Every structure is written in structure tokens, then in C-alpha cells.
Structure 1
Amino acid sequence: MILGLLKEHGKETRVALLPETVKAFTDLKVEVLVEQGAGEKAFASDADYEAVGAKTVSRDEVFAKAEVLLQIQPPAEGDTGRIKDSQVWISAFNPLWDTTLVKTFLDKGITTFSLDLIPRTTRAQAMDILSSMATVSGYMAVLEAAAKLPTFFPMFMTAAGTIRPANVLILGAGVAGLQAIATSRKLGAQVQVFDVRSAVKEEVMSLGGKFVEVEGATEDKAAGGYAVEQTEEYKKKQQDRINEVAAKSNVVICTAQIPGRKAPLLIPKEAVDAMKPGSVIIDLAASTGGNCELTKNDETVEYKGVSIIGQSNYPAQKPVDASRMFGKNVLNFMKLMIGEEGELNLNFEDDIVKGTCITHAKELYNERVKSIIENA
């Protein structure tokens, strides 16, 4: 098999594979073509890739020769037309949201795998890019909030008096939320956490957070650990409670998302109106509409003294470790499709391979994506 590693586009600084992970692929008898300059923003030179057995070539040559094309982001503008129906495309292209791209892949007969839909099972944990990148996002969100906040995070006992600790509200206790709790507590803040899934209460408390209780949430074991849509009655109770806690918070970190849907609105304008000037909102759900009504993706909005930071790609701010984690996830996933002699083996009998495949032979393979497209 010839694996082609593409250079990312736009503001992305990560690379799907660092040289250390490319070495693992070459050890598996996979030939790796790396686009020239692919790793430069993650501090990996072309020479570093060549030292582990890869060949650095032009972008055109990667598209012309590779059997499998790999990058983190969806295809750049114009790249979709360059992918041949005999090639396999692997990236994280959010197929539950970007159904237009899925239909393009389907029409062209391209085999595609979206790494953000790797099944949430115990066996697939080592391949879970969402968890890896959410760890980075939760950590970075707290650091940016601490830097932006005009007060300290921890309590200080000084000769000039006592400095009270910051109050942090975290919305969503998935991987990003849990990392945000841990980091906030390490910095000395008092932390309250809201999540519709009562099952995460114990994890929140074990990290030193206080769980905000709102009774009556709908939970679905079939949702794979994700939040699900709630009733209108619950949403009203939820909103009143969140507004109450947010008004007393110095920092609100928003992480709540529902796959394939617009992010739930948890911080409406009236909640921001009640917050203290100097407060900070970090919205990790910005790319899917945001949990805060005033969020703008990739922008900082200043509203009545409150800073609302819409940031959905914190991993790009830590490109080395983020790339290292992403690459290990990719390696663990692709091992399921590499034969003993390094050949490509699309084993659709494997539940992880089948669950991550979006399109193949002009058919939709992922049932969740199929349901969204057929019911649109």
C-alpha cells in the first residue's frame, strides 16, 4: 500500500502523522509519500520524514500515486475533484454535519473514512481522535480563560488581604469538560459543572467539581455516550438553573455538542447580560453554532464587559502533542486495514472499519449518516 500524507490547508498547524508514527507505518511495510512541507508547522522537517523511510514529494505526486490519502481537515477547495474513485480518503470531515461533501464523495464513488465517527466502544478507545483532541481543547480553554480574566484563578492569602478564587462553570462533562475541570482545579478555581447525563456526576465530583443538578433529563444508552435532544419542559428548567449559576461565575466554558445537530443554546443573551463585567466565556462548540447566543466562530466578541471567545480548534495551538496524539489514533485505526505484507485490506467485517466508513462503491455505509441524508 502507498499512503499519501497531505499538507493541511488554512490555519491548521497540525499534521496527521509525525515522523515517529510514519516509522511505525514503514515497519508495517507501508510505503509513505509525504507532501513537501506537510509537517513544518508542527516542527517536523522533510528530512525528519525521509530519515524514517518516507519519500517527500509534490502534492501532485501524492494525488497521482497514493492509494490512501490522509489528512486531518476535509479536502481543500478543488481537491475533491482530484481524488480518484480507486483511492481511499481518510480525514475528519464531520459527515453528520457536512452532508453536501458526503453526497459529492458518494456521486464520485470514492471510498471515504471519517475519523470523527470511529465507534465509541472500548476496543476503539485507542483510535478515538475526538477524545484526544478534546483533551487538548479542554486544557487550552482554561489556560486562555485564566489569561483573559482580570482576576486570579486561585485564592491567595496576602498581606494586602485575601484574594477569592475564581468561579468556573463548565457546560458539558465529556472529555473536554473533564479536562477543563481538572485544569481549573489545578489552577485553584471553584468549579461547577452541568451535563444532562447523570452518569457523569461521579467523574465530575472525583475531579473536584460540583455537579449542577437539573432533574428530568432524557438519556439514551444507544447514543454512545453523547448527549441527546431534551424535552421543552426540561430545557426550561435547565435554562433557569444555568442562568442562575452563570450570573455568579467569572468563567463559563462551553463544550456541549450533539453530533449532526446545531449545538444546544445554553447561554442566551439575557444570561450574558446578568454576568459580571470582566467575565469570560470560552465556547468550544463555536463551529456548530455555539452554546452561547453571542458566539462567533474564530472571533472574540466583547459584550457589556464580557469576553465571548469562539474557538473550535484549540488543538492547532498545540500542534506537536496534538499531532502526536492524532497520529497514534490514526495508526491504531489503520492497523485494522493493513495486511501482513503492507497491502490495503478493507475488512468491512470489522465493526470499527465498517462504522467509520462513510462511502464505498457509491453506497452509504455509516448508518447514522445514511439516516440523516435519507431523511433530509
Structure 2
Amino acid sequence: MKIETIAIHAGNHTDPSTRAVVQPITLSTTFERGEDGEFPGGFSYTRAANPNRKSLENVMAQLEGGVDACAFSSGNAAGAAVFQSLKPGSHIVAPDDMYHGLKNLINSVYKDILTADYLDLSDLKAVESAIKPDTKLIWIETPSNPLLKVTDIAGICKIAHERGIIVCCDNTFATPVFQQPLTLGADLVMHATTKYLGGHSDVLGGVLITKNNDGFWERIRSVQTLSGAVPAPFDCYMAVRGIKTLPYRMRGHSANAGKIARYLESHPRVEAVFYPGLENHPLHHIAKTQMSDFGGMLSFTIRGSSDETREISNKLKLFTRATSLGGVESLIEHRASVEGPDTKTPKNLLRISVGLEYIDDLIADLEQALK
């Protein structure tokens, strides 16, 4: 099946008792045993498994071309399950502009358990040099947040697998519609389902998808079940509902983002635009080989101070100043102020999650704010 068909059908089944076309929400926390003590319906307790979570995991495994998936209560919970599944003392190689929530998680919660080096993953020689005897994981984020850096997934996987190192790719920005890391060699894929998968800024969640049902995946599944950081049935239902329109929404996001990137690129007040679909992006040639389109996220820097940058975002009418991304509405954020004093994000940078509004309206709004 093609991705549009998978998105609609793999997360849904007709209810056998009522013949409802849309799968109902199963709120029960516990399930009846059979007379033999077993569970004829396949479910025992909702922390371990739930029909709605099973549907979300099924559709995500199929969309990414994996063999299994684990859904979590947030993207950070999904990342944490990977880190928890590593043995104490393991070393991680991660991007220097890794999503600050996950980076802070490693540096605070796991600071006495794991070690990490953060570097520019576009430099494959630097990645090779950073690998240590105890390196067990390379974490990829491509395109990255917020600088839209591109990582050569196949290149990183070759380096890692020659040394027996696991590769996990955060595919949140690209989604499985535009990029499929498992086919490029990654072992695991992570998404914040909060973003494009849910697609409407109204549900929190995360998911991991695996290429192999191996021992490391069994540890991740155990972390999911025993730690209990699982999404509620309603959250799973909402994520599955959003995924049904994902392929068509992503085409609209990407088309709008490409036009805005080119508009900003030519504006005299704009210093630089970070978008992998632009030919002057330093790794545009890599993006073209591993992405079918370039997504709805972009960042740009202003010729001016931090205050002048924030003033531009304050003048916008259709772009809401807010954290997060991937909804149908356009959002803008001054990332440096969100990430704190240790951020390496330029203070004159604004990140845009380009929504599905009419493109001429969005460009007119940017035009009046940039005057």
C-alpha cells in the first residue's frame, strides 16, 4: 500500500459489535479474563496495552517501514526510553543543535549514568573521531531544530554499524511522508506525535519505531510497560485521527514553506534563511537524496539585534508566537530566549512552523512586519 492508504487504514478497524466505521475509544483500564485465566481479547491492563495504542503503534510501524512501534506520553518520554535502555556508562554521540528538551534530559537526568558529546553530525570525519570504545548510540536529528541542519543518515549508519553502534533518528521535522530513516540504515526512528502526526496542536505524545525486534527493542518495550509513560486512549485516538490526513497536510506545509523561504531569502532585512529545500543550503545535495520534499519548518536570521528580531515577531498577525510546531496554524518563535542562557542559537533567529493558511496571506503578513 502507498503511504496515503496506510495513513487512513493501518490505524483503524471497524468495530465488530456495532460496525462503527471509526474505531471507538476504549477507556477501560482493565480487561476481563477468560475462565481459563487467560485474556481472550488480547488485553489485560491498559498500561501494558490498549486497543487505541495498538492502533497508533501499528500505523506508525507501517508508515516508517518498521516491524514494531512503542507509543509514549510525549516525545521526551520516547527519547528517555532509548536512553534508559542503554547500559550505565554508555557514551552517546548527538548533534550540537539537538532539540534542547532531549539534550537537557541527557545532561540532567542521565548526567551520572550516561556521557555524551555534541558535534556537527554533517562532518562524518568528526563523528568517527568522537566515537569511543563505550559509544553505544548515535542520535541523529535531521533536519535539526532549530538550524535545519541536514545529516547524511546512510553515511552515519555505515560508520555506526561497522562498530556495532545503534543509530536512532529523530524524524519529527521530515515525517515518514518525506523521509524514511529505516530504509537508509537507521535502527530506530523517533517522533514527537505532538507535532505533524497529530497535526492540530491538541495532543501530546511520542513514538519509537524499530527496524528489528531484537534485544535492545525488548528493553525499550519493557521500559514502556514498566515505567508507564504511555499515552491515554483518547490521545492515541487523536493521533491516529491526525495521521489520516498527514500525507496531504505535509504537501501543503512543504509548498508554503518553500515559497516563504524564497521570499525571505530575497528580503533585504533578512541575513540568512535555513531551509534544506534552498539550493544554497550547505547540505541541499544530501537532503535531495534522502528526502522526497523538504518539510514545513524553517528558520531565518534578521539583520539586527535580539530586540529588533523580537519586534518583528510581535508585529505579525497570522503567525502566533508559541512553542511547538506542526499544526495547521503558523507559529513563530524566538528560539534563543526559549532555550536559555547556554543556547548556541543566534539571538537574531526566528523559527517558523509554516501552517496551511493561504500563502499570499502569510507572505503579506511577513511583508508588513519586516517593513
Give me the TM-score of the superposition, normalised by structure 1: 0.29
Give me the TM-score of the superposition, normalised by structure 2: 0.30
Bigger radius of gyration among the two: 1
